[in-house]
Amino acid sequence: MAEFDYDLFVIGAGSGGVRASRIAASHGARVAVAEEFRVGGTCVIRGCVPKKLLVYASQFAEELHDTAKLGWTFGEKTFDWAALRDFVASDVDRLERAYTSTLANNKVEHFAARATVTGPNSVALSDGRTITAKYILIAVGAWPVMPAFPGNEHAITSNEVFHLPTLPRRVVVQGAGYIALEFAGIFNALGCEVTVVNRSDKILRGYEEAMTERLLKITAERGIQYRLGHPITGIEKHADGSMTVSLSGADPIEADCVLVATGRKPKTDGLGLETAGITLGANGEVPVDAYNATACPSIYAVGDVTDRVQLTPVAIREGHAFADTVFGGAPRTIAYDHIPSAVFSQPPLAGVGLTEAQARAEGREIKVFTSDFRPMKNMFFARAERGFYKLIVDAASDKVIGVHMIGPDSPEILQAVAIAVKAGLTKADFDATVALHPSMAEELVLMR
């Protein structure tokens, strides 16, 4: 009889956990996964995918407006939030079924239960069962942080935003990171009055400043109001459902919905990791080495719970590398440089590699090339909004070490150019590439 019930027990069927389960099983391991909510995790159920669908949907407001000039006429345009919300929910159901099938097709046993660690090789399930495994993978993700202020129970987080009963007329968004700016863009495009409030006076800290300044300018012109440096101090809810949102050092704002997006914290509360001798980090994260190994030799962790880079493709790669290392006989780590990322704001921005400030802080000699241009589509429709691209080039080697862009389709363009940056191509290689005309991406090879 086997010494343990399973070779691998995964806690959390999200981006990292599902990939690790599937690959470990393909290497011949007996695998089970516990999921306390819905298979697919944050990205599929209440993150990247439903968010992207809302971004698409909201962009139609502008597209439909533009079609009038192109000879199209429609009847009166109306928007039905409930129809969009329910369509998003049905697509999430479809994806959950697909992820659940993936587990079954790969012979991964799925327990619909919350799991807690009870020792180096054992977990307890919320349905009362106890299970043993040779290895345990912690892939429980992260959870929205709600700052403490009176009335914060009236605010929602990104978990709830996909289920709003009606489209709010006035929305206050607290935070100026990815989630805040993506939802500010969605609500603004859908016609809501949007105010973004933030503790600091910067938006999207860590992104190339030239891009974030451009985003601030364009979105302010599109109607988003900013109260930067004035975080929420309290929310008072009235009998009619409306709210008064008090700010530090600024006038209060009336709102119908307050969305708080002030970061996500590893979901390790009550997970029992201390029973395996694992001490959590200051933000509740599970400390791991480059091979995703924790201080307990039988326990590994991947994804948001490790608080390294909170992005789906990173969680997936970590899960895959863990499975190859422990069950595939091919130990490997993943590279954290050159991770492309995008903010699906309106317009979107995207970047890979070093920002100008980061390169200078490293003391590098750099050359900076920029293109500040009006995308052709904006020209057609008399929109003044300009795109902005920036290349950071290492002066000594001529290698392109950073690409940053804001403008229509920039996440799509950035993914392709990220290959060139990862491959270490030089500015001369960019210059030698013939432009594809007419496109926005051609600006990348025309900067002199």
Ligand X SMILES: Cc1cc2nc3c(=O)[nH]c(=O)nc-3n(C[C@H](O)[C@H](O)[C@H](O)COP(=O)(O)OP(=O)(O)OC[C@H]3O[C@@H](n4cnc5c(N)ncnc54)[C@H](O)[C@@H]3O)c2cc1C
Ligand Y SMILES: NC(=O)c1ccc[n+]([C@@H]2O[C@H](COP(=O)([O-])OP(=O)(O)OC[C@H]3O[C@@H](n4cnc5c(N)ncnc54)[C@H](O)[C@@H]3O)[C@@H](O)[C@H]2O)c1
Q: How far apart are CA 427 and CA 32, in angstroms?
A: 49
Q: Please report whether residue 310 would count as binding ligand Y according to CB under 6 A.
A: yes
| Residue of the chain from 180, 184, 259, 418 that contacts ligand Y (CB under 6 A) | 180
Q: Indicate the Cα dihedral angle 321, 326, 330, 334, nearest 10°.
A: 20
Q: How far is the CB of 280 from ligand X (least distance, A)?
A: 14
| Residue of the chain from 343, 350, 401, 440 that contacts ligand Y (CB under 6 A) | 343
235 binds, among ligand X, ligand Y, none (CB under 5 to 8 A by kind): none
37 binds, among ligand Y, ligand X, none (CB under 5 to 8 A by kind): ligand X
| Residue of the chain from 143, 183, 344, 388 that contacts ligand Y (CB under 6 A) | 344
Q: Which stretch binds ligand Y (CB under 6 A): 132-140, 171-179, 187-195, 272-280?
A: 171-179
Q: How far is the CB of 251 from ligand X (least distance, A)?
A: 29
347 binds, among ligand Y, ligand X, none (CB under 5 to 8 A by kind): none
Q: Which two tokens stand for residue 154?
A: 């009236």
Give yes or no for a contact between 343 and 208, defined as CB atoms under 8 angstroms apart: no
Q: Which two tokens stand for residue 229?
A: 């440096």
**Number of residues near ligand Y (by CB under 6 A):** 23
Q: How far is the CB of 314 from ligand X (least distance, A)?
A: 7
Count of residues for the chain?
448
Binding site for ligand X (CB under 6 A): 11-17, 34-37, 41-43, 47-48, 51, 114-115, 139-141, 158, 179, 267, 271, 303-305, 310-313, 315
Between 199 and 364, CB nearer to ligand Y: 199
Q: Please report whether residue 231 would count as binding ligand Y according to CB under 6 A.
A: yes
Between 302 and 359, CB nearer to ligand X: 302
Q: Which stretch binds ligand Y (CB under 6 A): 7-15, 77-85, 170-178, 278-286?
A: 170-178
**Chain position whose Cβ is nearest to ligand X:** 14
Q: Please report whether residue 178 would count as binding ligand Y according to CB under 6 A.
A: yes
345 binds, among ligand Y, ligand X, none (CB under 5 to 8 A by kind): none
Between 304 and 394, CB nearer to ligand X: 304
Q: Please report whether residue 147 would count as binding ligand Y according to CB under 6 A.
A: yes
Q: Please report whether residue 122 would count as binding ligand Y according to CB under 6 A.
A: no
Q: Which stretch binds ligand Y (CB under 6 A): 110-118, 215-223, 258-266, 285-293?
A: 258-266
Q: Which stretch binds ligand Y (CB under 6 A): 74-82, 198-206, 238-246, 383-391?
A: 198-206
Q: Indicate the Cα dihedral angle 309, 180, 51, 12, nearest 10°.
A: 40
Q: Which two tokens stand for residue 251?
A: 């006038």
Q: How far apart are CA 145 and CA 106, in angstroms?
A: 35
175 binds, among ligand Y, ligand X, none (CB under 5 to 8 A by kind): ligand Y
262 binds, among ligand Y, ligand X, none (CB under 5 to 8 A by kind): ligand Y
Q: Which two tokens stand for residue 95?
A: 């994806």
Q: Which two tokens stand for residue 368?
A: 């900076």
| Residue of the chain from 139, 261, 288, 413 that contacts ligand Y (CB under 6 A) | 261
How many degrees, rounded to 5, is the angle at CA 439 between CA 444 and CA 420?
35
343 binds, among ligand Y, ligand X, none (CB under 5 to 8 A by kind): ligand Y
Q: Which position has the token pair 């390294």?
A: 308
Between 284 and 313, CB nearer to ligand X: 313
Q: Which stretch binds ligand Y (CB under 6 A): 95-103, 260-268, 319-327, 435-443?
A: 260-268
Q: Which residues are catalytic?
A: 437
Q: Which two tokens stand for residue 69?
A: 């000039």
Q: How far is the CB of 405 from ligand X (least distance, A)?
A: 16
How many degrees, rounded to 5, is the angle at CA 318 between CA 316 and CA 322?
120
Q: Please report whether residue 176 would count as binding ligand Y according to CB under 6 A.
A: yes
Binding site for ligand Y (CB under 6 A): 147, 174-180, 182, 198-200, 231, 261-264, 310-311, 341-344
